[in-house]
Structure 1
């Protein structure tokens, strides 16, 4: 899979993309991720990418021309284009899985007061928001999107079972996890996890996941009841 991020600050992206799981996956060739400077497609001596908004108002708005030129150069018949926008549909695991099946994705990062509306109306296939709040740019949402999608691609995670046993796969939050030491400041690991009885451990984890979801995200319970399972690749 190939993901390209269009932003004014590609170096900010590289700091995350070159580290840990994503960095190793890129080196192995499990996924191709590039952060590209949108200014490459801006024209004029100063390569201006933003202008004051028509009708007045505070801040600057990103111009449509650099995005249009970049997409004309970068898109193939397999490319899906996504604008990171507070006005987009809210990102969740099902959307991450949907995009993990794509061959090529280009993420458009807005900056300042956002982008010319014609970008959203005419240049992209989708718009994604990572939550009901506003950020200074689309860089952090793009990185969240990349991380959530990339880890669902076979070969990116070292343990192929990892993505099948975590929050939101079945509509519930993940079960609690513990590791050494067995006791810390009087706080003990549940004894069932030390028993070696894998059948009982699985039962405990199922109940614990349900209880944790009831406590912290009761809104997910209806979705869980409608689900038949996870989202296997293939």
Structure 2
């Protein structure tokens, strides 16, 4: 995969690719990255890349000319680039979208700043807008890196398939809780089942904990997931136990 990032602040983006998983993947030639400074395409000696919005209002808007020139330069040698603009106005970015993008060969990320990007750029270049959450960031670079990280870890060879299978959202459920040494910490022991060595019991415990956690924190995921027969039985059991517990508590 080829990743291109267009930004006004390359110094924010660059360190991410020099550490840990991204750096190792680049060393293995699993993907490559090119960071482009939009200011290099400004049309005046002051390298101006923003201006006041038409119609008035607070803040500044990224000028279309330098952004367009940067996009033209980056995409001129790409065959099928997907151009992504992280924006609070975009469609929600989720794990399924990350999987789709991980299959692409060429991704171009356009990092916004100030009040955003001239709409004519978005329309002309058929840019995909994604939102990473219902909040506003000062730096489009941060949102772009969130999407990049979610995508590249799904590319074959970046991390192990076993790790991917057990992560939150990979099965439509939140991930179960994890424990490591020591066996007792601040008086709290690791659940006995994890020390039993019984693989099937451990699998069932983890599945139940995943369903419980999803039910408590993200019940919407359960509504949207096609549950297996085993998952349905576990969920029904959890709800029945909680119902009986609530009846006992209300009776007291």
TM-score (norm 2): 0.86
1:200 Cα deviation (Å)? 1.1
1:197 Cα deviation (Å)? 0.8
User: Could you say which residue in structure 2 is the equivalent of 1:198?
Assistant: 199
User: Could you say which residue in structure 1 is the equivalent of 2:235?
Assistant: none
Alpha-carbon distance in structure 2 between the residues aligned to 1:104 and 1:180? 42
1:3-152 matches, within 5 Å, as 3-75=3-75, 76-152=78-154
1:70 partner SS: helix
Unaligned runs of 5+ in 2: 230-252
User: Could you say which residue in structure 2 is the equivalent of 1:167?
Assistant: 168
Give every structure 1 segment of 4 or more consecutive aligned residues whose post-TM-superposition deviation is greater than 6 Å. none
Unaligned runs of 5+ in 1: 229-234
1:227 Cα deviation (Å)? 8.3
User: Could you say which residue in structure 2 is the equivalent of 1:187?
Assistant: 188
**Which range is displaced more, 26-35 or 145-154?**
26-35
1:5–1:109 contact (8 Å) kept in structure 2: yes
- Deviations 1:195-230, CA, capped at 9 Å, x for gaps: 1111111111111100011111111101222689xx
1:64–1:118 contact (8 Å) kept in structure 2: yes
Considering fraction of residues, name the structure with more helix: 2
Alpha-carbon distance in structure 1 between the residues aligned to 2:94 and 2:21? 21
2:129 partner SS: strand
| Structure showing greater relative contact order (alpha-carbon pairs closer than 8 Å, 6 or more residues apart) | 1
Alpha-carbon distance in structure 1 between the residues aligned to 2:127 and 2:116? 17
User: Could you say which residue in structure 2 is the equivalent of 1:231?
Assistant: none
User: Could you say which residue in structure 1 is the equivalent of 2:236?
Assistant: none
TM-score (norm 1): 0.93
1:88 partner SS: strand
Alpha-carbon distance in structure 2 between the residues aligned to 1:167 and 1:173? 4
- Deviations 1:81-115, CA, capped at 9 Å, x for gaps: 11111110111000000100000000111101111
Bigger Rg over Cα:
2
CA RMSD of aligned residues (A): 1.5
